[in-house]
Amino acid sequence: TILFSYLYFIKPSSTKLYLIYLILSLGFYWNIDVGLICFLSFLFTNLIVNFYNNLNKKNFLRSIFKEIYVALIIFILTSLFIYMYIGLTYGNFPTFDFLMPAQKNFLRDVTKLQISGLWILMIFIYIFSLFYSLNEFKEKQNPIDKMILFLSILGIGLFSYHANQHYSQVLALVSYP
């Protein structure tokens, strides 16, 4: 996700965009939590890019809705393909309950959240980099600022996913973006 996003931000093209959304859609079925975070991080980054690029233009809303439309269509088509493939291969169409067994535990454990030490530093770094990238993004839109924005959103999403496991070893999983 990070490599393809960087390549897309350096030289955007429709082919790269469709390929990234396809890969991110497949990632959703690999791991629903992380896949959803990656998919939404890339989508939100592109929405913010479209927001700043088309802020004073007539096609402002059209560009925003087009991005959402493209992401959803690719996700739906990928989901249909996976659904049909599993149904034709195994004779039964899948139920998607198998994707969500851990969500009930996650929501129950979030209420016991007690973050301390290095975790607070990671929160600060992600929030600071998010505001930094948004501030720099208003003035100039280079690929590095887009990448910082993407990694900030991805990091905040991954942080929220792993926050109920606030051990030092898990911090490495959260800090890689």
* 76-97 pLDDT tens trace: 999 999 989 988 988 887 776 6
pTM of the model: 0.82
Can you give the three-state secondary structure of the chain, one letter per residue? CHHHHHHHHHCCCHHHHHHHHHHHHHHHHHCHHHHHHHHHHHHHHHHHHHHHHCCCCCCHHHHHHHHHHHHHHHHHHHHHHHHHHHHHHHCCCCCHHHHCCCHHHHHHHHCCCCCCCHHHHHHHHHHHHHHHHHHHHHHCCCHHHHHHHHHHHHHHHHHHHHCCCCCHHHHHHHHCC
Residue-level pLDDT at 95: 73
Q: What is the pLDDT of residues 111-155, one digit of tens each?
A: 555 566 676 777 788 888 888 888 887 777 788 888 888 888 888
